[in-house]
Structure 1
Amino acid sequence: MSQGSPAAGRALPENEVKQRLRQYGIPVPDFTVLSPRDSLDDLEVSFPAVLKVCSPDIVHKTDVGGVRLGIPDWGELGSAVADFRQRFPGLPLLVEPLAPSGLEMIAGLTHDSQFGLAVMVGMGGVFTEVYRDVAFRLVPIEERDAMDMLEELRAHVLFEGFRGMTPDRKAVIRLLLTLSKMGLDYGPTLRQMDLNPVLVYEEGLMVVDANLILGD
């Protein structure tokens, strides 16, 4: 299935997207949003931490230097916040703990002008960038569909073992079924959702970054 032309509509800020994912039971890091006037005095965060600019107008945050990973302590966090506030004046910032490394995947929903909403899953990193290792199914899907999607991926053998662990295939299947439900619930108002990366562990997974575009 073709993904069609880029989705047109209203992008939501990352914190709102993650709140919506939480409502469906999809794991995301515990985050805090700092407004331009908030101090760090009352902030609760675990280190190492991640700092991101949080704006629906900046979808590709890494491309503009809007992500800082592995911040080790309060001193470095304060410096990073000051730097971001200078480079992104007036925009809120998102702070969250750095997620442990895992098998990197992507998932989401995409709207095709001819066929409607489809669930997408793929292997992250080089598998997406070089091999376009992704699979699609029209909404709604069942468990067998989700299993078949994973089997279609060229890199599906990574589920047999990755860096000394066996990634939780069932957690990914649950994620795809939940995305299918979201697609049914949102209907045509959902134009595109990208969960990238999704880090898969021996038990469970974590959606580290997420974008959502809704129709006008």
Structure 2
Amino acid sequence: MKEVVKQLIQKKGLLAENEAKDLLRAYGIPTTKYFVVSKEKDLENITIDFPVALKVCSNRILHKTDVNGVKLDIQNMNDLRIVFKDFKKRFPSEKFLVDQMVEKRVEVIVGLIQDPTFGLSIMCGIGGIFTELYKDVAFRIVPIDRYDAEQMIEEIKGKKLLEGFRNINANKKLVIDLLLRVSKMGQELEQHIDQMDLNPVFVYQNHICVVDAKLILK
């Protein structure tokens, strides 16, 4: 087990977004590039190209948008400083995440949840704003194999979005690989994970990217 994993699973409750993404990366799961800042001077050290997003980065705030803690499509350093000053005034004790903006593609959601009957389960569905609207998701008990992952996608009504519908370039095999990596992570950390929500995950032709991650430890 990697050292970063050992350190993070010592924590309890909600992880800050950078911690959740650090854990994902330790299992080979691609995420956006990000940089944690706590004071305005830290902005001088970021190595992420604009446009970027600024997010409040806290283990006390589960839904960042509910507290107006996310600003997207910041185009330059001057605008970033303006947004940072506003965030710092409203969240004086928190750190902040400068996050890479990536081009939107087909969105999927992947998650882990502790089921009282079956134990840790993995979930996959069409992500973004349609998740709650259509409830288009499939579940399996962890661990899963490649066949299980393939069947999960087959059960999703929106699977055509991953199969070239209207020339949309989204690689279904990358979603299968992601499900297998999340399953491995869940299997190894089953005694520590309460729930995890990766939404959205953007699926491209040649790569996949976790844009937002929420992870709660027991």
TM-score, length basis structure 2: 0.91
3-state SS, counterpart of residue 125 of structure 1: coil
- TM-superposition CA deviations, 1:7-52 (whole Å, max 9, x none): xx61111101101111111101111100146432222221111100
- The 1:200–1:194 alpha-carbon spacing in structure 2 relative to 1, beyond 3 Å, is same
Match of 2:37?
34
Matches of 2:143 and 2:74, distance apart in 1: 40
Matches of 1:193 and 1:21, distance apart in 2: 11
Question: Bigger CA drift: 55-64 or 163-172?
Answer: 163-172
Q: For 1:113-152, list aligned pairs within 5 A.
A: 113-152=116-155
* Contact 2:40 2:81 survives alignment (8 Å): no
| Percent identity of equivalent pairs | 48
* Contact 1:117 1:188 survives alignment (8 Å): no
- TM-superposition CA deviations, 1:157-200 (whole Å, max 9, x none): 11222564321111100110011111110022211011011000
Question: Bigger CA drift: 126-135 or 143-152?
Answer: 126-135
Corresponding residue pairs, total: 207
* Contact 1:116 1:188 survives alignment (8 Å): no
Aligned letter for 1:26?
Answer: I
Matches of 1:25 and 1:130, distance apart in 2: 30
The match for 1:153 among 132, 139, 156 is 156
RMSD: 1.4
1:98 aligns with 2:106: no
- The 1:163–1:52 alpha-carbon spacing in structure 2 relative to 1, beyond 3 Å, is farther
Question: 1:155 deviation in Å?
Answer: 0.7
Question: 1:119 deviation in Å?
Answer: 0.7
The match for 1:167 among 141, 166, 170 is 170
Aligned letter for 2:50?
Answer: F
Match of 2:8?
none
Matches of 2:176 and 2:201, distance apart in 1: 13
Match of 1:15?
18
1:72 aligns with 2:75: yes
Provide structure 2 residue ranges, at least 5 long, that are not aligned to the other structure.
1-11
The match for 1:208 among 202, 211, 216 is 211
The match for 1:54 among 49, 57, 80 is 57
Matches of 2:62 and 2:47, distance apart in 1: 26
Aligned letter for 2:72?
Answer: L
- TM-superposition CA deviations, 1:45-94 (whole Å, max 9, x none): 21111100000111111111111110011111110101100111121000
